[in-house]
Structure 1
Amino acid sequence: MQFNPARLELAMDRRRFTARALAELADVTVVSLSQIKTGKQLPQETTIRRIADALEYPPEFFYGNDFDTLPAEAVSFRSLSSVTQRERNAAIAAGGIAYLVSDWLHSKYTLPKANFVDASPERDPATAARALRQTWSLGEKPISNLIKLLESKGIRVFSLAENTKNVDAFSCWRNDEPFIFLNTFKTTERSRFDAAHELGHLVLHKHGGSNQGLQAEAEANAFASSFLMPLADVISEMPRAHSLKQILHGKKRWGVSAAALTYRLHKIGLITDWQYRTFNIQLRSAFKNSEPDSMARETSTLWKMVLEDLWGQKLTRADIAKELNIPHGELENLLFGLTASSDHPPSKNSNVKLSLV
């Protein structure tokens, strides 16, 4: 199998390397590297090893087949205006590696299939959120573990350890398989809202509408708010809110930030404009940018089950990375924050169904 220039492009994007920086580290000329990237020059084995060492990727990675990449227009970035091109390319490249990992999962296990409603024609966020809750038999009850719920409905959830605040989260469809990528450095409440926001993009913008721009972001936010904090339940539990203490108590029920609950109460008319401003001032004064009484980190049920099964076969995450010829660190990045308790077996009551192929 010959050297694959597309894989060199992906590895460079993941490391955020310019051609000049890589050429200097790998001791090749910029002209030669450019010809290698475009497929005009077939590199010698020694050159490939120097490039692999500079990028900290196994040399075998560059001999792999072509792989699916995430089309830039199909990926929704929350803070599109502040994301640099290099950050954007690195995140999209992480999605390409996630596709490799997902294909490996499919080859070993039978995974839940996507179970969705297509709300693209109507595009009303609140109606779409209610319809999806009905399809998933959630009723009006709060969602205790959102990641587990998404996985059980056929959504592939990966984390983004990008070490940047500019990449909040993003989502995309790969054929009929939905993916969500989360920045798991955030608080659990913020990460849950990000996940629900991206779920909104998957539901509202799969067909016939851009998932980028101010309108799409507003629609996804409205979907997330309605999905996590159903109108009837909020009215039933908090018909009146007279103090910040009530807000802090209520946020625990729906697993959202105090700011998100305050916004929801104001949006549906349960608090006045004056109360909304007052509560926000109190939150900033008391907690600044931190989340009061933040909930425990949510983890992946699906990956816990996979890792438990592999452990029974005396295999580890490092073995998965070796089989895929990717750096162990890349796999760790995709699972970071999702498998914090992977040394414990999954709950027997888990609704994520997983079986060997």
Structure 2
Amino acid sequence: MTDEASRTTAARRRRTSGVAVDFDGRRLAVARRLQCMSRSELARRIEVTPSAVTQYERGQSRPTTTVLARIGLVLGMPTEFFSRGLDIPEVQPSTAHFRSLRSTPANRREQALAFGELALAVLEVIEQYVDLPPVRLPSLDLPAHPSEEDIAAAAARARRGLAVAPGPVPDVVRLLEAHGVLVVRLPAEGFDPRVDAFSSSETASGRPLVLMSPLKDDKARSRFDAGHELGHLLMHAGVEPGSKVIESQAMSFAAEFLMPRAEIEQSLPTRVDWAAFHALKRHWGVSLRALVYRAHTLGRLPDPAYRRANQQLKLWGNPEPGPLGPPESPSVLGAAAELLEQSGTPLRSLAEAARIPLASVLEVIAAGRSVKPRLTV
């Protein structure tokens, strides 16, 4: 059979098939991006044109039931997922601050965003049954082009606004969750390791989102990542992501938020004293690298000593000496799920009501809890 004859036969088959009712193109876009698949690749595998896939996703047309069955098979989702149900909040790429924006392929960033959108949807359905912390982030009034002093002052205001006592922040991730931020950790499997932490304060649900890297298996680095993303949430709403200036501002915010100058400056070494740096690492819960950089930027560590310290840090690599234990982990999703189960509302019922596969719901909840659930048979 010629290619033309094959296309004619396929078109005739589609015309004679029923059209999928209650089809939700937004859900198709989420499922496709979760599989890191382009519209062209999906079109090829379900035997339609790329423009047809675009029209499906935009709600301009609906697939036939036959094509819908192929979509479900290719994307690994039951066909019920593509029916209208709970709205899945959208996170626009233009609002997402990726730590690794320039080094991560666009389709891998889209995959991570789709997982974040699914997590927001799961949180919304849980919130119908459980009262979750409301969004209560302080508002920081910054000039259009803030100086280092402006950012340091903003970090100090953030500590006060979030009711952080003097000294180390006990748990940065739990602090974010307590003020209404959804924090989840990307699954270790199926996602590009180049996708580092990212955040968005402008989600369709109105709840800020932070996704942490599963590869930062270290408490010090995870705390700094969380502080960095908090800086984006508080300072960079409506700001185009990706520039070195924006990332540098978030780094400066995290440094002041986790290691306030007024509290740490005099204790920072003026020479390469690793015993002193290790003691500060244990006290403040930050990495040796962050402390060395802080000592240099605050004028405590001279340039020659700073270069020697960095040479040693490079030799050590990651993980650096003196581990602080496992990374800080989110807990709200997991705790809410357990509360639902204990109150007699099984997650399966929630998944069915939201038309989200139970496996996807469980994957999201696992990303939002500190201890992975154990399957019992």
| TM-score interval for Structure 1 and Structure 2 normalised by the shorter chain | 0.7 to 0.9
CA–CA separation in structure 2 for the residues paired with 1:136 and 1:35? 45
Query: Hey, what does 1:196 align to over in structure 2?
Result: 227
Change (3 A) 1:281 1:343: same
How far did residue 142 of structure 1 move? 0.6
SS of residue in 1 equivalent to 2:311: helix
How do 1:161-172 and structure 2 match up within 5 A? 161=187, 163-172=191-200
CA–CA separation in structure 2 for the residues paired with 1:233 and 1:241? 19
1:53 and 2:84 correspond? no
Q: Deviations over 1:220-255 (max 9, x none)?
A: 110011111111221354355542232223212222
Which residue type is aligned with residue 35 of structure 2?
A: R
Q: Tell me the TM-score normalized by structure 2.
A: 0.81
- How many equivalent pairs are there? 341
Contact 1:299–1:337, Cα closer than 8 Å, also in 2: no
Structure 1 unaligned blocks of 5 or more? 345-357
Change (3 A) 1:19 1:177: closer
Contact 1:119–1:204, Cα closer than 8 Å, also in 2: yes
Query: Hey, what does 1:14 align to over in structure 2?
Result: 34
Query: Hey, what does 1:263 align to over in structure 2?
Result: 293
How far did residue 206 of structure 1 move? 2.4
How far did residue 279 of structure 1 move? 1.4
1:64 and 2:84 correspond? yes
Contact 1:198–1:220, Cα closer than 8 Å, also in 2: yes
The one of 301, 304, 310 equivalent to 1:274 is 304
Contact 2:337–2:365, Cα closer than 8 Å, also in 1: no
RMSD: 2.7
CA–CA separation in structure 2 for the residues paired with 1:103 and 1:307? 12
In terms of Rg, which structure is larger?
2
The one of 137, 140, 161 equivalent to 2:166 is 140
Contact 2:271–2:302, Cα closer than 8 Å, also in 1: no
Change (3 A) 1:45 1:155: same
Which residue type is aligned with residue 250 of structure 1?
A: L
Query: Hey, what does 1:126 align to over in structure 2?
Result: 152
How far did residue 67 of structure 1 move? 3.5
The one of 303, 306, 312 equivalent to 2:336 is 306
SS of residue in 2 equivalent to 1:177: coil
Change (3 A) 1:282 1:243: same
Change (3 A) 1:97 1:72: same
The one of 266, 286, 292 equivalent to 2:321 is 292
Q: What's the % identity of the aligned pairs?
A: 29
Q: Which has the bigger relative contact order, CA under 8 A and spacing at least 6?
A: 1
Query: Hey, what does 2:281 align to over in structure 1?
Result: 251
How far did residue 108 of structure 1 move? 1.6
How do 1:25-36 and structure 2 match up within 5 A? 25-26=45-46, 28-30=47-49, 33=53, 36=56
1:178 and 2:199 correspond? no
SS of residue in 1 equivalent to 2:327: coil
Q: Deviations over 1:83-110 (max 9, x none)?
A: 2121122122222212212211321222
Q: Tell me the TM-score normalized by structure 1.
A: 0.85
Contact 2:34–2:111, Cα closer than 8 Å, also in 1: yes
Which stretch shows the higher mean deviation, 238-247 or 292-301?
A: 238-247
Which residue type is aligned with residue 7 of structure 1?
A: R
CA–CA separation in structure 2 for the residues paired with 1:45 and 1:248? 62
Contact 1:147–1:300, Cα closer than 8 Å, also in 2: yes
Query: Hey, what does 1:102 align to over in structure 2?
Result: 123
CA–CA separation in structure 1 for the residues paired with 2:291 and 2:361? 34
Query: Hey, what does 1:150 align to over in structure 2?
Result: 176
CA–CA separation in structure 2 for the residues paired with 1:104 and 1:181? 19
Which residue type is aligned with residue 223 of structure 2?
A: R
Which residue type is aligned with residue 125 of structure 1?
A: I
CA–CA separation in structure 1 for the residues paired with 2:78 and 2:206? 31
Query: Hey, what does 2:6 align to over in structure 1?
Result: none
How far did residue 127 of structure 1 move? 0.7
CA–CA separation in structure 2 for the residues paired with 1:165 and 1:342? 20
Contact 2:126–2:337, Cα closer than 8 Å, also in 1: no
Query: Hey, what does 1:83 align to over in structure 2?
Result: 104
SS of residue in 1 equivalent to 2:253: helix
